[in-house]
Structure 1
Amino acid sequence: MSASIAAPQRRRRKIGRSVHIWSGVIICALFLFPVFWMVLTSLKKQRDIFTTPPTFFFDVTFQQYFAPLANADIPQRMLNTVIIAGGASIISLLVGSMAGYALARLKIRGAATIGVLILASRGVPSIALAVPLFIVARNLGVLDQHLTLILAYCTFMIPYVMWLMRGFFLSLPRELEEAAMIDGCSRLGTFFRIIVPISVPGLISTFIFSLILGWEELLFALVLTGKNASTIPVAVLGMAADTDNGANWGALAAAGTLTVIPMVLFALLVQKWLIRGLAEGATKG
């Protein structure tokens, strides 16, 4: 009798597992299809891009990766994006993690409310910050500089980092800090010597997400830069806005592909720490 009951249960579990797997495959395919189509478009000649119905078999060409992208100065703008997004992510990680630790551990009245209010500042429209930042930067004579854009990016990265790291620090046992302070460590020394080393997975995960935010940001880069500190999203926008002969969709797709590749490679390199950080955050939280 028990065997006859167990068999249907095993079948249901097997069916449920298959449904979960195929649901994940379908969702991933839906999300990845635009990226696949972008890469495919970047390898087509202009005449093949607009064929109806769309063709998956065509003469592959790499011409979209040369002349149009050279005119847009993609290598320099790629370097600018790396410097600005990376610099802003590092500063935000340092400041935001310390702020998150203070809200998680110090006896501050209304710490949770303060954290929510800081996080809520991310809901402010970017244009509401971009215009005042432009006026201040213009008056100080620091427009079109890397440092200006780095500090501007920090305005939306720090609240994000603070909230994520606050949750991670709350999951850590207080006994570690108490033991360190009994041994003579200050609060700041405890943070850097004890908390930071055991929080590396969370810090790496937060850094990756911050880097992605900075990599794709457009409005601040468009408003605060001209030529010297211009980033990849601004270059792509400029190519899309070229209406003399119509937008060069092949070059746009090539620029988009080149923009995505560094983030994909970076994510593959650090995926071990990213998954570990996400898993530990989920289990400890």
Structure 2
Amino acid sequence: MNRTAYLDIARKLFLVAMLAFFLLPFLWLATTAYKPSGDIFSIPPRFTFSPTLDQFRTVFRLFDVWNLLKSSVIIAAGSVILSLLLGVPAGYALARSKSRFAMATAYFLMAIRMIPSVAALIPFYMMMRDVGLLGTWMAVILINSMLNAAFVTWMMFSYFRGLPKELEEAALTDGCRQLGAFFKVALPAVRAGIIACVLLCLMFSWNDFLYPMFLTKLDTKPLSVALLSAYGTKDITWGTLGALAHFSTIPIVIVVLFLNRYFVQGLTKGIH
């Protein structure tokens, strides 16, 4: 084999090693959910065991799993929809704006997403308390949308800025209004970018812990907060944590697998 073939093999082996390195903790946690309690802390660790569903039975006995899952879905879906409704038109408006401050405005909105989560928590907590939304899904949806919409605006600003204006001008020449050109020409042309924004906002909202922890109550808490219940005062119930992690990770993994092609296209073509 020539040098190129050796380099190709070395590159693939390196990628496999890195993939195994990053997936090993997740695989360990996933298999923990199927281990008997006595095998979880065995020394030395046992790589062979008799699978059991006892950890899942415990989870269903101690938690209202379907209500937790429903809360996660409502919060994530609501945050994504509201973020897109605000961020996509704002990104388009900035991209087509002739103001010399358009670029600075876009990057200022991106800076909003970098605000530490805890810095926005206390004032937002007081606002939700005053308007009577504390303890509801809407409180979490609003704060997630505030941060994610700024991120979507910055992302879509880049996508629309890279879109030739001639496409919309041709639609306007054919009698289409500006709003029609936006919906019929601009939006379909940046579909991959919108899907990339959907997946990123979905992951931000689905995995969020801090805001749901303080802004929801017992019957509106999502799965991300329920995972904390596995941490006791003296130890961690790894079996319970592993079983709950299945419900927390599998839905988002399935969505990403279905939309992965558009996600990669959006990330590689959208930023200019």
* Correspondence for 1:197: 188
Q: 1:70 to 1:108 in 2, by over 3 A?
A: farther
Count of aligned pairs: 272
Residue 106 of structure 1, aligned match among 71, 86, 97: 97
Q: 1:48 to 1:106 in 2, by over 3 A?
A: same
Task: Give the deviation of 1:279 after TM superposition.
Answer: 4.4
* Correspondence for 1:270: 259
- C-alpha separation in 1, matches of 2:6 and 2:235: 51
Q: Which runs of 5 or more structure 2 residues have no equivalent in the other structure?
A: none
Task: Give the deviation of 1:53 after TM superposition.
Answer: 2.0
Q: What letter is aligned with 1:89?
A: V
Q: Conserved in 1, the CA contact under 8 Å of 2:155 and 2:270? A: no
* Correspondence for 1:65: 56
- C-alpha separation in 1, matches of 2:105 and 2:264: 29
* Correspondence for 2:24: 33
Aligned positions of 1:126-165 closer than 5 A = 126-165=117-156
1:14 aligns to 2:5 (yes or no): yes
- C-alpha separation in 1, matches of 2:116 and 2:169: 41
Aligned positions of 1:45-60 closer than 5 A = 45-60=36-51
Q: Secondary structure at the match of 1:59?
A: coil
Q: What letter is aligned with 1:127?
A: V
Instruction: State which structure, 1 or 2, has the greater radius of gyration over its C-alpha atoms.
Output: 1
Q: What letter is aligned with 2:238?
A: W
Give the percent of matched residue pairs that are identical in Structure 1 and Structure 2.
34
- C-alpha separation in 2, matches of 1:124 and 1:279: 26
Q: Conserved in 1, the CA contact under 8 Å of 2:59 and 2:244? A: no
* Correspondence for 2:241: 252
State the TM-score, normalized to the length of structure 1. 0.90
* Correspondence for 2:109: 118
Q: What letter is aligned with 1:110?
A: F
- C-alpha separation in 2, matches of 1:26 and 1:103: 43
Task: Give the deviation of 1:232 after TM superposition.
Answer: 0.6
Aligned positions of 1:170-185 closer than 5 A = 170-185=161-176
State the TM-score, normalized to the length of structure 2. 0.94
- C-alpha separation in 2, matches of 1:249 and 1:13: 46
Q: Conserved in 2, the CA contact under 8 Å of 1:74 and 1:235? A: no
- C-alpha separation in 2, matches of 1:97 and 1:212: 18
Q: Conserved in 1, the CA contact under 8 Å of 2:159 and 2:193? A: yes
Q: Which runs of 5 or more structure 1 residues have no equivalent in the other structure?
A: 1-9
* Correspondence for 1:43: 34
